[in-house]
Homo-oligomer: A and B are copies of this chain.
Amino acid sequence: MSDLAEPAVKQASAPKGETGVERFERIHAELRDRICLLTYPPGTVLSEVALAKEFDVSRTPIRRVLHKLEFMGLVEIKNGVGTIVSDIDLMTFKETYSLRMRLAELIGELSPGRITVEHLEEIDRLVERTKSLPRENFRDYARIANDLQTLLSDLTGSAPLREVIELFYFRVARIWFTYLSQLDWEDTVASQLAELSELRAALECNDMRAVGQARSVHLHRILTRIGRFIVEP
């Protein structure tokens, strides 16, 4: 019952006075993170009854969550088979990154958000976390990338833009994480620190356009680095 006792295996401890919407959001975020952090790598078959048992609810709320994940493009529900974590073909992956680059540039153009000291402090925290990252700790690296994305979302004033940026981030993040282990760790960390440094400088100048540009350049860099390890069909 208490949060002190950490279960041996994965287990969702439900808060006591939790409303229906909160429970839905909790399970959704949990499954989304498991997919994005590769706990469930692409191809994994999820069972509604198994998830229902784990989260101690019936299949009905689980189905709602899975259908939302399907809408987000993270899973594919097949009748009689199961819910399969989506993979992305190379073409769609590249197209998505190209689109994300353009969307990132728009952060500074379409009703940019307000920059506060909290944002700068968060950037500094991300830098520290990145620097103190043990070698080849891909999972924590992914978490930092997730938090950086959240920070940038917070800086995006246009609600529709923010929404679609997040949508495509979650859709391709796990694929990028998949390739992470094939890349040079030092380069990856250096690239991440460079982006954080550029973002911080842009934020200090209150230049949201520069923020969007820095993000766009970073995405381009990622795609280029991954491109080396992808063989064309």
Binding site for B on A (CB under 8 A): 20-21, 64, 67-68, 71, 79, 92, 95-96, 98-99, 102, 106, 109-111, 158-161, 164, 167-168
Contact = CB atoms under 8 A, between A and B. Distances in A.
A175 to B, nearest CB: 13
B67 A95 contact: no
B168 A92 contact: no
A113 to B, nearest CB: 12
Contacts of A111: 95, 98
Contacts of A168: 160, 164
Given A71-B68, A71-B71, A106 B95 contact: no
Contact of A79 (B20, B92, B102): B20
A24 to B, nearest CB: 11
Contact of A164 (B68, B158, B164): B164
A94 B31 CA distance: 34
A148 B102 CA distance: 24
Nearest to A157: B95
A75 to B, nearest CB: 14
Given A99-B164, A164-B167, A164-B168, 5 more contacts: A21-B79, A92-B160, A95-B158, A96-B160, A99-B160
A79 B20 CA distance: 9
Contacts of A67: 64, 67-68
Contacts of A106: 99, 102
Nearest to A106: B102
Interface centre among A102, A110, A160 (most CB of B within 10 A): A160
Contacts of A158: 95, 98-99
A102 B168 CA distance: 17
15 contacts: A20-B79, A64-B67, A67-B68, A68-B71, A71-B71, A95-B158, A95-B159, A95-B160, A98-B110, A98-B111, A99-B110, A99-B160, A99-B161, A102-B102, A164-B168
